Copies of this chain bind each other. A is one copy, B any other.
Amino acid sequence: MNLELSDEQQFLRDAARDALSRTKTIEAARETLDGGARPDLWPTAVEAGWAGLLVSDENGGAGLGAFDAMLVMQEAGRRLAGIELLGHLPASALLDTGGYAGIEAVAAGERRAAFVGAVPPGDLDPEWTVDSVSGMSRAPAPTFDGSTVTGEVAWVVDAPGADVLVVVAVQDGSPVAVVVEDASVEDVFRYDPTRRLGHVRLEGAAATPLQADVAAIERAWYLAQALLAAESVGAVEACLEMAVAYAKERFTFGRAIGSYQAVKHGLVEIMRRGENAKSLLYYAGWAHASGPEEFAIAASACRSAASDALDYAARENIAVHGGIGATWEHDAPLFFRRAQLSRRLLGGTGASIDRVAGELLAGSAPGPVAPEGPTGAAATAVEG
């Protein structure tokens, strides 16, 4: 067992941090909210080779794994970089294995892809469903008739401006992944200036099916969850750093506020949640590579832990900063906006938590055999 990052992984992470530091992404987010133009970070992604991260070598990609992609997403999250990888990466993975002719252009980033996914059936709901424009009531996944696809999918991440949409649709009750290159996408803005969202409306749009079985289509959905989780974990770390720094320098009643238990324990709680989510990134990364039957629960647990951690961290960061943390010029509100919208994307956090419960109740045994600790027993932990 070894959970250390490899040298290659460390290099990938450091390079991502470096590449993203060249754009003032957080300042840009604030300006976008005020009506400024959204910075285009796709060239950065292309230059760094992230577009082909999950595409195999033979198709012109880097042939890396989900965990590597998560490392990049974590860095993007740390800086609120509005890079279109969350939509592109799961799509690229399906295009890679699905026999898509234009895969090399996708791997090179010349053509940007977006994943129009659907939530797989669960222990209570036998249907494939997608997010509706408003409300908890879910919409049926689009239908595919062999050559065209029809349906509506709301709140699709990174859909506006994408060249290729990979749409999960249903044909005769079974899921298919199809490629749509000419779709109607309504650009919608909600709350978080860093996020490109679109309502995808397909009315008999021409579509080409990919070679992808149910497992591959489910896998793409959970991959999107894991990537969103990784992005959130990065943002949690940024919030924690910001809040800790302020807690050391702000004084009340003659003491730095970080010396008060209420503040200190809240900061430790950000750390606890962030580290838990981070541990689950390893779980998701491992399951994607070596434990496919656990990937659904791993990615769902990871997504729910990370979304909750970010919600908590963003709120606590504002609270620690006091009034100033809620002002326009401060960075804390931008992380708060990110947290609020992210929680509601890709099916919503509640659905991920529900999926964890559903998988468990359906009897998917999570996790490899677990160590019981070097001394192997409960009693030691209770000794005063």
Give the B-binding residues of A (Cβ under 8 A). 260-262, 265, 323, 384
Contact = CB atoms under 8 A, between A and B. Distances in A.
User: At the interface, is chain A mostly helix, strand, loop or mixed?
Assistant: helix
A384 B323 CA distance: 9
Contacts of A384: 323
6 contacts: A260-B261, A261-B261, A261-B262, A262-B262, A262-B265, A323-B384
| Number of this chain's copies in the complex | 2
A262 B323 CA distance: 23
Contacts of A261: 260-262
Contacts of A323: 384
A265 B265 CA distance: 12
Nearest to A261: B261
A65 B133 CA distance: 51
A381 to B, nearest CB: 14
Contacts of A265: 262
6 shortest interchain CB distances as A-B pairs: A261-B261, A261-B262, A260-B261, A262-B265, A323-B384, A262-B262
Nearest to A323: B384
A274 B90 CA distance: 50
A265 B262 CA distance: 8
A256 to B, nearest CB: 14
A260 B262 CA distance: 9
Contacts of A262: 261-262, 265
